[in-house]
Chain A
């Protein structure tokens, strides 16, 4: 039969994959095709086989990763099983999620060259190919730079350059921006946008969670279920429109404006075309807006008369032989506040946090914790007042069972055994870790690890928590659950200071924000007031959430002049009540 589809660049038929020693299939009966120049977005909950799919296409399963594979992969109509691994990897360029773990050379040019050397590209062709690839990702001037001196975003662009230099037909991007801050993520997506212009024949398969910036670039969407089966494949608008309920159930996050449109539809409003981008949303929502709508003041009142939990005065710091990291920093976090600490990379956010929790010792009189100078507190006293949640939960684990982990600091303090048991039980329950109390902390899922690391920091009754990017690298579902948990803590009176890059999180949860740029405090005030300062947002490389842009386009404001950033803030504008129902009948 020679009637193969000439149009398909990649064709997958009946793909099933089962890892060695796994009970269930990672991918179970998957068929789809990708045409030349097409951008295919792959969506699915964690564990749905998205990464596995990439490994299959590149032939790394079963060659490098032990797994059983059934079904066929056709590359330009040729059974990929008949191609050598060299030929296959030459056609499919891969970019992985972890910027720290996909390079093996020390310098930028050597890393790009590595992929060419393996293909036995003649030496005289290398210079041009390396130069062009680096030029294409905006790293042309960094050719001789050491890889470890690049930022996370630059590393991911380098990974893309490595793939492009090998001149593939297909790019498989496996959550390339999951570990990047929003500004770097936006840059990466812009790069893909340029790539569509400069290499129109290149097919791109991309796995992503955050769709807002990306969705208008996508030709088709493929959705996998948690069991690794195909849920839907088709044009983005069609899939997002018809499958909204299922997508929601799978924990897949729609673009913000799409989610808002969906909510309005549920409330009974007519939104004929589901908007995917901010500009589409502005067009779709414009006619629905109540004329001259001014929203009631949506901001959570900040309680400035509360005494300070954290109080910093004139704190400056420099690393040994290094430049100044913090310059004359002063800030005040009232008791019971939920405060976000934001700013570009290397602004000194983490350094500042380490002074607040006693990892670094400030000069006397600079940092006060619940009215006491931090330098006068004993270590036991200090750790009983404030907890610090590190970015990587694993770093904090010291025991081999979850319940021992929670009991650890209590035992150190010689608390009575039945009191310890009571506190541990309470924490296990309220953080949803009851089922795995005897597990190893290292064997937990990402979300569970994060919850455990927060819980351990509350065991001795700490009244303040400093968190370093608690939602970093997590999918939106686990991130959301964690933030709800933190909000509950705040209601119990715990003071929270959270370092974050996620501006939607700031809009949804934080009542106040502090902006640090170049080691200086550039802003301290309510989160709503921060989002009104457009120049500062730009300067601090903070990308405001999509609803921010939508509010500006539509000219919607709250009574006090702030922009509505949470979805529920918008309801009154469309005559939708807090319950999500149109008031006074549609």
Chain B
């Protein structure tokens, strides 16, 4: 599958970490980025996560540059411009107007807010980049089952669905080509789009249901869920290095927050925003 973001096969330190502990560590970073109201915290966290991805994950920039660039673009256009123009301050707070274009105005506070939101989104997205690029999807599901008591029937269901995604993508492409041959035009009106969706959905659904039935019979024929207990070929362990990763992430995050607070750059977490 050639998506925007997918697992990057390698054997780095980050690749070897337990998926659930990795998920928890990244969760800490996401939490910190969410609770901060200033642009500096998400920026610092973003840089740290990128550094971890490069140095500990050994994933080259190009593996996720497209994804990050797309988000940056969305952030820049959506968050920054919207806030720059339409920022309304809290009651009694003054705003600094930078430019006036007709009746519209661009405020410094609005720009800052837009930038903060964009950086926050990037920091959080970068955490998912680390998880996706350095974690084998099978390991992630197995670790959720083995370490987080995720129901295994559901877990294997997720794996089957994941397996079928590229198949359906290529099938959709074939259907589109087949319909073009029939002379079906791509109608841009709302009704036309609805018709088109129906036409694509029917053959896709027919094949999806048929395949799902077959897979489920095939799984049952291998005694899936027939015994009260099952063993695992891949046993995912939680080692000292995994706990250290969680601990180190926590410590570093707190240090970053304390450092920023020391220089008066931190907002949120009950800290007073700089005047």
Contacts and interface: CB of A to CB of B under 8 A. Distances in A.
A100 B229 contact: no
Contacts of B175: 395
Interface stretch (B41-49, B71-79, B213-221, B239-247): B213-221
B222 A115 contact: yes
B263 interface: no
A114 B142 CA distance: 12
Contacts of B218: 94, 96, 101-104
Contacts of B221: 58, 60, 89, 92, 94, 96
Contact of A116 (B162, B182, B226, B233): B233
B182 A396 contact: yes
A104 B215 CA distance: 7
A394 interface: yes
Contact of A383 (B156, B181, B206): B181
Interface stretch (A121-129, A221-229, A277-285, A483-491): A121-129
B199 interface: yes
B199 A117 contact: no
Interface stretch (A105-113, A265-273, A420-428, A510-518): A105-113
A106 B226 contact: no
Contacts of A110: 138, 233-234
A323 to B, nearest CB: 16
A60 B223 contact: no
A94 B166 CA distance: 26
B149 interface: no
Interface in B223-241: 223-227, 229-235
Give the interface centre of B171, B218, B223 by most chain A CB atoms within 10 Å. B223
Contact of B206 (A101, A394, A409): A394
A396 B181 contact: yes
Contact of B229 (A120, A354, A387): A120
B211 to A, nearest CB: 4
A92 to B, nearest CB: 8
A387 B178 CA distance: 10
A456 interface: yes
* Chain B residues touching A, majority SS: helix
B137 interface: yes
A90 interface: yes
A118 interface: yes
Interface in B179-231: 179-184, 199, 202-203, 206-207, 210-211, 214-227, 229-231
A553 interface: no
B255 interface: no
A397 B202 contact: yes
A396 B179 contact: yes
Nearest to B224: A118
Contacts of A106: 137-138, 159, 162-163
B167 interface: yes
Contacts of B179: 396, 398
A85 B226 contact: yes
Contact of A379 (B178, B183, B210, B216): B183
Contacts of B166: 148
Given A96-B218, A408-B182, A456-B182, A359 B203 contact: no
B272 interface: no
Interface in B136-179: 137-138, 156, 159-160, 162-163, 166-167, 171, 174-175, 177-179
Given A106-B159, A396-B179, A64 B231 contact: no
A397 B138 contact: no
B223 A86 contact: yes
Interface residues of B, number: 48
Nearest to B195: A398
A213 interface: no
Given A96-B217, A106-B162, A106-B163, A117 B226 contact: no
B231 A390 contact: no
Contacts of B202: 397, 442
A64 B217 contact: yes
A481 interface: no
Number of chain A interface residues as a range: 35 or more
Contacts of A103: 163, 215, 218
A96 B214 contact: yes
A63 B220 contact: yes
B206 A390 contact: no
A162 interface: yes
A479 to B, nearest CB: 21
A150 to B, nearest CB: 13
B231 A105 contact: no
A300 interface: no
B231 A98 contact: no
A188 interface: no
Give the interface centre of B163, B183, B219 by most chain A CB atoms within 10 Å. B183
Contacts of B180: 359, 379
A87 B255 CA distance: 57
A119 B223 contact: yes
A89 B159 contact: no
Contacts of B163: 103-106, 147-148
Contact of A104 (B156, B206, B229): B156
B172 to A, nearest CB: 10
A84 interface: yes
A118 B223 contact: yes
A416 interface: no
Give the interface centre of A84, A116, A456 by most chain B CB atoms within 10 Å. A116
Contacts of A65: 217
Contacts of B220: 60, 63-64, 85, 89
B227 to A, nearest CB: 5
Contacts of B231: 116-117, 120-123, 126
Nearest to A89: B223
B177 A359 contact: yes
Contacts of A383: 181-183
Nearest to A460: B183
A119 B223 CA distance: 7
Given A116-B233, A148-B166, A394-B206, A409 B217 contact: no
A388 interface: yes
Given A118-B226, A166-B222, 10 more contacts: A63-B220, A64-B217, A85-B223, A96-B218, A104-B160, A104-B218, A117-B230, A396-B181, A408-B182, A409-B182
Interface of A: 55, 58, 60, 63-65, 84-86, 89-90, 92, 94, 96, 98, 100-107, 109-110, 113-123, 126, 130, 147-148, 162, 166, 354, 357-359, 379-380, 383, 387-388, 390, 392, 394-398, 408-409, 412-413, 442, 456
5 contacts: A104-B163, A110-B234, A395-B174, A397-B202, A408-B182
